[in-house]
């Protein structure tokens, strides 16, 4: 693969974020992820894994007024949606902690969820942009802020330019 050749030849890459991962409890998937991490670490790259994000059961555009569309009341989903992610990805996290404890894990769902529900609208702005569950520009900014705060505590050298 071209990306593997690039990684092997590059001496400037310090971190890799593995995101967009499949929500599965498959041992085979966990093993494949660990092989990928092994390749990255063998090339001097520290790895950060993003927990899969919640998939909305509705189109985010329905959370906002439209001339002929119905508006959802609050654009939230219950915490059970987050728990479904946690349960579905648990075996992958457990395998990482057991076999690659140096790998850091960032839970993107912290951006959306508090102790009572998960909301995909903040300050009147959508955090997703489409029914494909892609982050909006505003959502990306919010994730970036939370990731920077997380990185200060968990991987501070990612914030330094050297």
Domain range list for the chain: 2-157
Rg of the chain over all Cα atoms, to the nearest angstrom: 18
User: Which CATH number applies to 2-157?
Assistant: 3.40.50
**pLDDT tens, N- to C-terminus, the chain (162 residues):** 899 999 999 889 999 999 999 998 888 999 999 999 999 999 999 999 999 999 998 889 889 887 877 787 689 999 999 999 999 999 999 999 999 999 999 999 999 999 999 999 999 999 999 888 999 999 999 999 999 999 999 999 998 876
3-class DSSP assignment, residue 48: strand
Strand order across the 104-106 sheet: 15-18, 46-50, 104-106
Is this structure's pTM higher than 0.85? yes
């Amino acid at each position: 693969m071209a990306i593997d050749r690039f990684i092997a030849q590059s001496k400037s890459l310090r971190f890799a974020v593995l995101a967009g991962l499949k929500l599965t409890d498959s041992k085979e998937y966990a093993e494949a992820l660990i092989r990928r991490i092994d390749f990255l670490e063998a090339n001097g790259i520290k790895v950060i894994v993003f927990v899969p994000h919640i998939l909305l059961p509705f189109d985010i555009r329905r959370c906002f007024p439209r001339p002929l569309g119905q508006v959802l009341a609050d654009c939230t989903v219950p915490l059970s949606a987050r728990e479904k992610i946690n349960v579905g990805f648990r075996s992958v996290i457990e395998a990482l902690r057991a076999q690659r404890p140096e790998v850091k894990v960032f839970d993107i769902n912290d951006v959306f969820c508090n102790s009572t529900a998960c909301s995909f609208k903040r300050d009147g702005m959508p955090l997703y942009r489409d029914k494909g569950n892609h982050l909006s520009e505003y959502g990306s900014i919010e994730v970036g802020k939370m990731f920077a705060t997380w990185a200060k505590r968990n991987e501070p050298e990612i914030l330094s330019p050297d």
